[in-house]
Amino acid sequence: MNCPPHAYTSDHSAGIMNSAYHIIYLDKVDSTNTYLKNHPELWEHDLITVVAAEQTGGRGRHTRKWHSEPGLDLTFSTLCIPPRPLNDPSCITIIAGLGVYRCLRRYCDKGLNLKWPNDILYGNKKIGGILCEMVPKHGAPAVIIGIGININTTAFPDEISSTASSLKAVTGKEHDVFTICEGILDEIGVLMRDFRVPLDRLLLDEWINASASIGRKVLFYNNGREESGVISGINPDGSLVLVSSTGDRIDSYKDEIIYKLE
């Protein structure tokens, strides 16, 4: 990661604070989400952020492992304190995805797209993912937003080499990881100023325009049965509208989906 040599510390009391954010740098950690979750004394600052040079146990949705290369990619978690109550983090995932998209499109506008619920793609290849987890803060919910972005990696493990990409792979040049981290935090901060559930229609339309998910064929689970269908829309609470292969409409869907290869 292109940061000053003193920027990493394993002691969060010695973290670096820049002019806009409280940011803690760790040489190595199992998961930045877990670290932030286990240190509630850090939760007094909105967008308190933990960045890891190396993350050994990064997680995606449904406990899937997130791969990142030490020193080359961006793995961080930030605590979001919503200005209004919420029951689940679905809308925060949408907001975080938009924040990442707004930042990264400065570098690779064409081909960048969002995949419901939490992936950032370039074309059909994944370059980033988001994991949001709710935590109780003085009786009110806060959300830890975990973000992993492939920045400067160009070689991936065999099992994901055909489905993963990076910012360097699509732009042909290296990028400053710290600059991108702050850029994402800037965008999330702007988006959260007027956050409410249901989401503002303009934000929802922006997400839809940035996404290639609408119209995609998927497998999903309906009353415990696997069915096939199409994503026909997204609701202001972050859930999906699906139309099954038999023509049934399934609204407010938030469970697992599998995108069919096309």
CATH of the domain at 111: 3.30.930.10
Percent of the chain with pLDDT over 70: 88
Structure tokens at 151: 């920045």
Q: Is 2 among the domain residues? A: no
Q: Is 5 among the domain residues? A: no
State how far the Cα of 182 lies from the Cα of 201, in Å rounded to an integer: 26
Q: Is 244 among the domain residues? A: yes
State how far the Cα of 239 lies from the Cα of 94, in Å rounded to an integer: 10
Whether residues 40 and 98 share a domain: the answer is yes
Q: Is 45 among the domain residues? A: yes
Q: How confident is the model at residue 110 (pLDDT cuts 50, 70, 90)?
A: confident
Whether residues 86 and 203 share a domain: the answer is yes
pLDDT of residue 224: 86
Q: Are 225 and 238 in contact (CB under 8 A)?
A: no
Whether residues 114 and 196 share a domain: the answer is yes
Radius of gyration for the alpha carbons in the chain, expressed in angstroms and rounded: 18
Q: Are 130 and 100 in contact (CB under 8 A)?
A: yes
pLDDT of residue 67: 64
pLDDT of residue 58: 62
Higher pLDDT among residues 35 and 222, named by residue: 35
Q: How confident is the model at residue 184 (pLDDT cuts 50, 70, 90)?
A: very high
pLDDT of residue 23: 93
pLDDT of residue 228: 96
State how far the Cα of 194 lies from the Cα of 26, in Å rounded to an integer: 31
Q: Are 66 and 103 in contact (CB under 8 A)?
A: no
Q: Inform me whether the pLDDT recorded for 234 exceeds 50.
A: yes
State how far the Cα of 230 lies from the Cα of 247, in Å rounded to an integer: 10
Whether residues 109 and 173 share a domain: the answer is yes
pLDDT tens string 157-178: 889 889 999 999 999 999 999 9
Q: How confident is the model at residue 138 (pLDDT cuts 50, 70, 90)?
A: confident
Q: Is 6 among the domain residues? A: no
Q: Inform me whether the pLDDT recorded for 66 exceeds 80.
A: no
Q: How confident is the model at residue 194 (pLDDT cuts 50, 70, 90)?
A: confident
Whether residues 109 and 192 share a domain: the answer is yes
**pLDDT (average), residues 74-79:** 96
Domain that holds residue 221: 217-259
User: Which amino acid, one-letter code, is at 167?
Assistant: L
Q: Is 56 among the domain residues? A: yes
Whether residues 113 and 223 share a domain: the answer is no
The sign of the torsion formed by the CA atoms of 156, 160, 166, 169 equals positive
Question: Whole-angstrom distance between the N-terminal and C-terminal Cα of the chain?
Answer: 36
Q: Inform me whether the pLDDT recorded for 2 exceeds 50.
A: no
Whether residues 44 and 150 share a domain: the answer is yes
Print burial letters for 176-197: b (CB count within 10 Å at least 16), e (below 16): ebbebbbbbbbbbbebbeebeb
Alpha-helical runs (H) found in the chain: 32-37, 90-108, 167-171, 177-192, 201-210
Q: Is 33 among the domain residues? A: yes
Whether residues 34 and 88 share a domain: the answer is yes
pLDDT of residue 64: 55
Number of domains in the chain: 2
